[in-house]
Amino acid sequence: MTANFDEFMFMALKECRGIEDVLEKFFSFLRKRTDFCHTILTPEQLKQFNLDNSVNSRGFMPNQMRDLVNKIIEDNILLYRRANQPYLLPSSPRSESSQKSNSSDKPKPTNDSTGKSYSSDNPKPTDDSENLNSDNLNSEKSELKYTVNTWNGAVTEKYAWSQTFKEVTVEILSPRKITPKDVFITITKDSLTVKIQGQVFIDGEFCKSVNSFDSVWSIEDGFRILLSIEKSEELWWDCVIKGHETIDTQEIESVKRLDEFSSSEQNAILKLIKDHKDKNKFQ
């Protein structure tokens, strides 16, 4: 299926003048043939514009599509760099424990102005080298706001999350500015571990299994950790980590987006839409 789709896209690309033309035609198609640009209104807006809820039978939450497009772009850049430009990837996190060097290689202890002696085994403490404790992790959160749209998800004590049929997005806020060297994340098919500056932040079992190879993470603006976790099965999750806060999956907006169908299913849906429009022309 992927090979056929790639061939179809290659044929379409040959008809375009450049990448800008490709994107223009693609989003023009979404605008004209799908509900990609249709915004779901809030109850207040429905009242303001004197509309009933039927206008919300399709479309997406405000900014949901912008967030989705940005996320897809970032994910694909990361996947490309993994395969072709690994030197542009963030540095691997430092090992949590390093082997002690031989005593003959250790530098001699030095004294500071207070007369205290420090060495590699007894380093001088600094504010930057302190691990984040639970108080530090929560002390400045009130000044930070989540950017992820918690569509079909929730805001929990430690993170915000949202989901589609295919993936889960998790956003974690750090009260201090961080770099990839400060973050240690392990994603397996069954579990997630997140450490920030040596402090365990999340360590638990996923609600359901995931495709760890296609799950990625990144740091945004130095304070936000974004995880894109691909589900193994197209099922709704009631939580991210077992034992964490849950949501009622019966209240989930279970409308499946066009891009979540397979290529053949999308073609069938688009054909039905076209046939319906053609039929209405003659009525």
pLDDT exceeds 80 at position 38: yes
In the chain, beta strands by DSSP E: 110-111, 117-118, 154-155, 160-163, 167-173, 183-187, 191-196, 199-205, 210-220, 224-231
pLDDT digits (tens, 9 = 90+) for 194-207: 999 989 999 999 99
Sheet with 167-173: list strands edge to edge.
Answer: 154-155, 160-163, 167-173, 224-231, 210-220
Give the separation between CA 157 and CA 180, rounded to whole angstroms.
23
Q: Is the dihedral of CA 231, 236, 239, 242 positive or negative?
A: negative
Q: Which has more confidence, 33 or 149?
A: 33
Q: Are 159 and 167 in contact (CB under 8 A)?
A: no
Name the token pair of 63: 């900014």
What integer pLDDT is reported at residue 249 of this predicted model? Answer: 84
- Average pLDDT across the chain, whole number: 76
* Residue 274 burial (C-beta neighbours within 10 Å; 0-12, 13-18, 19+): exposed
DSSP 223: T
Higher pLDDT, 85 or 196: 196
User: Where do the H-state alpha helices sit in the chain?
Assistant: 2-13, 19-33, 43-48, 64-84, 134-139, 263-281
Phi/psi for 161 (5° steps) reads -150, 155
Indicate the range of 91-100, 169-178, 210-219 predicted with least confidence.
91-100
Distance separating alpha carbons of residues 262 and 256, to the nearest angstrom? 12
Where is 36: in which H helix or E strand? none
More confident position, 47 or 276: 47
Instruction: Tell me how far apart the alpha carbons of residues 12 and 23 are, in angstroms, rounded to a whole number.
Output: 12
**CA distance readout (Å), 137 to 53, 76, 141, 200:** 41, 30, 7, 11
Span 179-196, average pLDDT:
92
Share of the chain above pLDDT 70, in %: 71
- Give the other-Cβ count within 10 Å of 169's Cβ: 22
d(CA 118, CA 227): 39
> Contact 173/224 with Cβ under 8 angstroms?
yes
Phi/psi for 233 (5° steps) reads -130, 150
Q: What is the torsional sign of CA 77, 82, 88, 94?
A: positive
Q: What is the pLDDT of residue 190?
A: 94
Bridge-based pairing of strands 154-155 and 191-196 is: unpaired
Find the helix packing angle between 263-281 and 19-33, rounded to 10°: 60
- SS3 for 28? helix
Comparing 252 with 113, the larger pLDDT belongs to 252
Residue 62 confidence (pLDDT) above 90: no
Residue 102: pLDDT band by 50, 70, 90 thresholds?
very low
Overall average pLDDT of the 17-21 stretch:
80
Predicted structure pTM score: 0.46
Domain 155-230 class in CATH: mainly beta
Contacts of 228 (CB under 8 A, 6+ apart): 71, 75, 167, 168, 169, 215, 216, 217
pLDDT at 115 over 70: no
Residue 3's pLDDT band (cuts 50, 70, 90): low
Q: Where are the domains of the chain?
A: 7-88, 155-230
Interatomic CA distance for residues 7 and 1, integer angstroms: 10
